[in-house]
C-alpha cells in the first residue's frame, strides 16, 4: 500500500475472523518490528507470539474483551527497562522505543490486510503469569493479529491547527 493510504487505512480492529495468519505474513510483521529505530539502538524489547486456539478462556484474564481471543494470534511487546537508553536527567526512553516498535509491527500488519488493535488496558499480573514473563521484563502492549471481521469506521482526529505550533525565529 502507498504510505498515506496505509496510515489512513489502519484502524483498531475489534472483531476478527478465525482464519489463520500465514507463516510468511507473521514473519514480515515481526521483521518490521525488528527494523524499528530505538534510542541508541538498544532494542530494549522482546515480542511474545501467542496462539489463541484452545486457550481463549485463560487469555481472557489478560484482557476481557471477547475480540481479544477471536484472532488466531496475540502479540505482546515486553519492555526491558534495564537495556534501555536513559538520558542524563534519568529519563528512560524504554516506552518510546516500545511504541515505535509496535507501530512498525502494526503498520506492517495493516499493509498485509491484517487487523490489529493496540491494547494497554490489560491485567499486568495475568499477563506475567500466563506468558511466563520474567521480572526484568514488563508486558507493555498487546495486540490481536488476524483478519478483520469488520469494516473501517470513520476516524476522528484533532485538526492540525490544534496540534501544531510553528516557531519562526
Ligand X SMILES: Cc1cc2nc3c(=O)[nH]c(=O)nc-3n(C[C@H](O)[C@H](O)[C@H](O)COP(=O)(O)O)c2cc1C
Residues of this chain that bind ligand X (CB under 6 A): 11-12, 117-121, 155
Q: Cβ of residue 168: shortest distance to ligand X, in angstroms?
A: 31
Q: Which is nearer to ligand X, 26 or 142 (CB)?
A: 142
φ, ψ of residue 162 to 5 degrees: the values are: -75, -30
Write 100-103 long-range contacts (CB < 8 A, 24+): 100/36, 100/37, 100/38, 101/33, 101/36, 101/38, 101/45, 101/77, 102/33, 102/77, 102/141, 102/143, 103/36
Give the nearer residue to ligand X in terms of CB position, either 20 or 61: 61
Nearer residue to ligand X within complex by CB, 20 or 123: 123
**Nearest distance from C-beta of residue 135 to ligand X, angstroms:** 23
Q: Which is nearer to ligand X, 15 or 20 (CB)?
A: 15
Q: How far is the CB of 121 from ligand X (least distance, A)?
A: 3
Closer residue to ligand X in complex, CB, 159/168: 159
SS3 for 100? helix
Residue 42 has a CB neighbour count (10 Å cut-off) of 16
Rounded to the nearest whole angstrom, what is the least distance from the CB of residue 51 to ligand X in the complex? 21
- Least separation in angstroms between residue 166's CB and ligand X is 26
Instruction: Classify residue 169 as exposed, middle or buried by CB count within 10 Å of its CB (0-12, 13-18, 19+).
Output: exposed
Amino acid at each position: 500500500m502507498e504510505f498515506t493510504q496505509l496510515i489512513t487505512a489502519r484502524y483498531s480492529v475489534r472483531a476478527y475472523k478465525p482464519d489463520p495468519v500465514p507463516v510468511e505474513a507473521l514473519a514480515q510483521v515481526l521483521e518490521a518490528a525488528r527494523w524499528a529505530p530505538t534510542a541508541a539502538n538498544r532494542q530494549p524489547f522482546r515480542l511474545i507470539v501467542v496462539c489463541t486456539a484452545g486457550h481463549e478462556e485463560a487469555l481472557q484474564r489478560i484482557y476481557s474483551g471477547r475480540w481479544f481471543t477471536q484472532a488466531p494470534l496475540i502479540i505482546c511487546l515486553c519492555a526491558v527497562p534495564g537495556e534501555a537508553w536513559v538520558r542524563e536527567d534519568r529519563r528512560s526512553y524504554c516506552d518510546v522505543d516500545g511504541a515505535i516498535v509496535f507501530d512498525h509491527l502494526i503498520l506492517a500488519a495493516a499493509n498485509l490486510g491484517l487487523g490489529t488493535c493496540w491494547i494497554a488496558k490489560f491485567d499486568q499480573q495475568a499477563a506475567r503469569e500466563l506468558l511466563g514473563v520474567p521480572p526484568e521484563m514488563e508486558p507493555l502492549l498487546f495486540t490481536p493479529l488476524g483478519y478483520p471481521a469488520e469494516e473501517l469506521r470513520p476516524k476522528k482526529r484533532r485538526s492540525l491547527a490544534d496540534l501544531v505550533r510553528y516557531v519562526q525565529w
